[in-house]
Amino acid sequence: MPSPQLGIRILNLLTVLGKTKEAQDFAEQLEGENYNAPVFYHEIFAELGHAALKEGDNAKHIEYRIKSLNWALKLPDYQQQAIAYSNYAVALRNNRNYQEAEQAFLNGLACAEQAKDIAQINSIKLRIAENATLGNDPEKARRWLKQISVEGLPSLQLSRYRKLVKDNAPH
């Protein structure tokens, strides 16, 4: 078997080429190698989660996000844990599991706050507002939108923020 670094490169190449089945099989082989490398496994399953999302396979998306999260939780890195929780929450939200998604987002928010990652804190608050909107709770969405620091929001997310503010404006 390859080193963890080469394994990630091969996995990335397989997913870029759209060879999802081969990437999944390769990841299973890598998982069986029991490398002592939580970062490696976290990245493997994050990559497979991206591939499952692109393919619209919600069950696989959730499965891989759970695995990625479990590996991220073994790392002493709150920023990576926040991202993993957020990705898992998106998978749940895409499956219309809004309450579970909200809890995962809140867990991610706690990690982002521990990491003092302002961009991630505001991104997760935006995602919680999106989740509330999709769950048909505009009041909750408005409460979360008010907590977002627009200056701390990544610029690529400003249009999503504006749209949510508009969509959740009281009538």
Examine the fold and report which residue of 42, 75, 108 is the final residue of a domain before the chain moves on.
75
Q: How confident is the model at residue 116 (pLDDT cuts 50, 70, 90)?
A: very high
Q: Could you tell me if 123 and 89 are in contact, meaning their C-beta atoms sit under 8 angstroms apart?
A: no
Task: State the pLDDT at residue 24.
Answer: 86
Task: State the pLDDT at residue 33.
Answer: 82
Per-residue pLDDT reduced to its tens digit, 99-114: 999 999 999 999 999 9
Q: How confident is the model at residue 81 (pLDDT cuts 50, 70, 90)?
A: very high
Written as one string, the DSSP assignment of 96-139 is: T-HHHHHHHHHHHHHHHHHHT-HHHHHHHHHHHHHHHHHTT-HH
167 and 103 share a domain?
yes
Residue type for 60, please? K
4 and 38 share a domain?
yes
Examine the fold and report which residue of 41, 75, 109 is the final residue of a domain before the chain moves on.
75
Task: State the pLDDT at residue 29.
Answer: 87
In terms of average pLDDT, the best of 3-12, 49-58, 95-104 is: 95-104
66 and 131 share a domain?
no
12 and 62 share a domain?
yes
113: domain range?
98-171
80 against 35, higher pLDDT: 80
Helix axes 118-134 and 78-94, enclosed angle (nearest 10): 10
> What is the CATH classification number for the domain harbouring 6?
1.25.40
Q: Is residue 87 part of a domain?
A: no
Q: Is residue 85 part of a domain?
A: no
108 and 157 share a domain?
yes
Q: Is residue 164 part of a domain?
A: yes
Q: Is residue 89 part of a domain?
A: no
The stretch 141-166 carries a mean pLDDT of 95
12 and 66 share a domain?
yes
- What is the residue-averaged pLDDT of the chain? 93
Q: Is residue 51 part of a domain?
A: yes
Put simply, whether the predicted model's pTM sits higher than 0.85 gets the answer yes
Give the number of domains in the chain: 2
The stretch 42-64 carries a mean pLDDT of 93
Q: Give the 3-state secondary structure percentages of the chain, helix then strand then coil, rounded to 5.
A: 80, 0, 20
Task: State the pLDDT at residue 5.
Answer: 84
CA 143, distance to chain mean position in Å, is 22
